[in-house]
Amino acid sequence: MLSWEYPPLLVGGLGRHVHALAGALARAGHEVTVVTRHVPGALLEEHSEGVRVIRAPEDPPRHEVTGGDLLGWATGFNHALTRAALRAVRGNRCDVLHAHDWLAAYSAMTLRDHLGVPLIATVHATESGRHQGWLPAAHNRTIDDVERWLCAEASRVIVCSEYMRGEVNRLFGVAAERTEVVRNGVDALRWRARPRAVAAARLRYAGEDGPLVSFAGRLVYEKGVQHLLAAAPVLRERFPGLRLVVAGDGPYRRELELLAEPWVTFAGFLTGHDLTALMAASDCYVVPSIYEPVSLCIRDRSSTG
């Protein structure tokens, strides 16, 4: 598997998706290698939860990201990822290659041709969808082209919902028979918050009066937090003492902070029990996304069905 993020490096949901998928495949008896980018403090290679994890250090040249233009950075990343993957498969058998999103596309094509194995691509979201169909700059249009190329070259395209099946068909012409819908899931046991942690979160964020509303996610335009902030004063008039917590981080954070009222808390990137406790302590959890291709299903592990 090729992924631009993997624990402990998490940017959004993609890294969590790949982590859960790799672990599930390993438990099913498959030999899984994930090649991803390095993060300071992590090992270059390790075996974790039955998965071999290879982390590629970035090359010395710096590729500054301005205005959301990731193309220069992605080019360097793909070179490093390809070299790390080739070292990882040396002397080992590889049956299938699985690339996650356009950020690994160039590496995926090189490795597919070198190894002579089928390529599977998971499209987690599209550039067109993230921008509501508007591709304003050259780098947006190039990303759209790379996504189309990846979908055309892959033996199978995996998406997480029927909505996304329709989107890759409409945008990239991917036939339904080449598309597989594999829905994301929720591990319900991990979201059972500890009562003491819930009480502490309630006290920290809500105080003793008023309802608590929360959001958690990457702070980018398509998550729609700006609309939640615009509606919050109206809600506070109807519900005195209401407080809003925005959990997460991202390039849009500074602009959102400028829109927020003093009683809105930006909690930063929360993980584990902190995030679970915040959500459990909230009277209302809001998902104001403009674009959200993910569908979710919950399997209760405590049931015997």
Poorest-confidence range of 89-98, 167-176, 181-190, 290-299? 290-299
The percentage of the chain sitting over the pLDDT mark of 70, rounded to a whole number, equals 96
Closest to 123 measured CA to CA, from 92, 154, 77: 154
**Strands 45-48 vs 51-56: parallel, antiparallel or unpaired:** antiparallel
Neighbours of 138 (CB within 10 A): 10
248: left (phi over 0), alpha (psi -120 to 50) or beta: left
Give the residue among 65, 177, 172, 179 at the shortest CA–CA distance from 128: 172
Q: Is the pLDDT confidence value at 119 over 70? A: yes
Q: How many CB atoms lie within 10 A of CB 291?
A: 18
User: Mean per-residue pLDDT for 204-213?
Assistant: 86
Q: Is 245 left (phi over 0), alpha (psi -120 to 50) or beta?
A: beta
The angle at the Cα of 105, spanning 100 to 107, to the nearest 5 degrees, equals 105
* 293: nearest Cα among 141, 170, 142, 146: 170
Q: Which of 136-145, 248-257, 289-298 has the lowest mean pLDDT?
A: 289-298
pLDDT, tens digit, 9 for 90 and up, residues 62-103: 888 888 899 999 999 999 999 999 999 998 889 999 999 999
pLDDT per position as a tens digit, 214-243: 999 999 998 999 999 999 999 999 999 999
Domains of the chain: 13-182 (3.40.50.2000), 190-285 (3.40.50.2000)
Note the pLDDT tens digit of each residue in 3-18: 999 999 988 889 999 9
Residues 175-182: contacts with CB within 8 Å, 24+ apart? 178/154, 180/156, 182/158
pLDDT single digits (tens) 124-157: 999 999 888 889 899 999 999 999 999 999 999 9
Separation between Cα atoms, residue 62 and residue 180, nearest integer Å: 37
Q: Tell me which residue of 38, 28, 29, 50 sits closest to 7, measured CA to CA.
A: 38
Distance, in Å, from the CA atom of 174 to the CA atom of 154, rounded to the nearest integer, reads 10
Q: CA–CA separation, 76 vs 4, rounded Å?
A: 12
Q: How far is the CA of 66 from the CAs of 104, 147, 180, 208, in angstroms?
A: 20, 21, 35, 43
Q: In the prediction, which pLDDT does 272 show?
A: 79
Prediction pTM value: 0.83
Gyration radius of the chain's alpha carbons: 21
Q: Which helix (H) or strand (E) holds 48?
A: strand 45-48
Beta sheet of 212-216, edge-to-edge order: 264-268, 243-247, 212-216, 284-285
